[in-house]
Amino acid sequence: MSHSPYIVNVTIQNFEQEVIRRSFEAPVLVDFWAEWCGPCKMVLPILEQLAESYAGAVRIAKVNTEVEQQLASQFGIRSIPTLHVYHQGRKVEEMMGAQSEAAFRAVLDKYVTRASDAQREQALEMAENGQIDAAIELLRHVVAEDPGNHAAAFDLVRVHLGSGDAVIAQAQLEAYPIELRNSDEGQALAREIRFAAVAQDAPDPATLHAALTTNPNDHHARLQLAVLNVAAGQHEQALMQLLEVLKRDPGYEDGAAQKNMVAIFDMLGGGELVSRYRRAMFNALH
């Protein structure tokens, strides 16, 4: 049994207080475990380390599924360890099986309020006001002083990217730990960088529009225009151009239009725009 003040054993009687209500103060990581479970024993020292490291910025709630069978059934626990993250009164994440400390941190840090966040916000304001060099310097300082501030780490990459330097943005992203690069946000950012790198070598939009006016079947020009749209944050315009290529010639450049549409879907993560163009892509292919 842990003696950490940041780890609590949870029952059906105190779940509301220790998980739901506490999650309004700080994220709560709920660990569904059992005595016989080998992987659960592997996770325990990691959870104890996290509890001490976060020092109250994250709380750990442990649910013994052999004792609290009603709770386990209520949450549909079918395998252990299963871990849920609660924030602001609701479940926001679910993890299955043993995880590394870095993997836990990558999830938890999205919900932790950090002292360095004020400097991060200041840097973003600088970037918005065109003070790119100052923003980059401040974000580098934040990342160096607080490596756990993953939001600042990704912001640093985005500021480089927004300044038009995809090469430095790529190098910065590749310098991060693999768990950070392989996170959903890291992979989405990598796709943004790939689009931006291609966009740097593309003709200007006016030239591409002129080419398409002359020849609407200039699929290469249309693909380049879509890439420029993505780099400018004009995702719907990009999807419109890619869908047009898909309708005219789905096999062009080994299905480049479909591949780029899927890359944009993955980058955006979801929403009405993604749903609408997924249906349009399916209809175009069938």
Beta-bridge partners for 8: 61
For residue 181, give Cα distances in angstroms to 100, 131, 153, 154, 191. Answer: 15, 27, 11, 10, 11
Full DSSP string of 120-138: HHHHHHHHHTT-HHHHHHH
Closest CA to 150 of 127, 122, 177: 177
Closest CA to 46 of 92, 98, 85, 112: 98
- Active-site residue list: 37, 40
Q: Where do we find the tokens 């910065």?
A: 172
Q: Where do we find the tokens 């840090």?
A: 109
How far apart are alpha carbons 22 and 208 in whole angstroms?
55
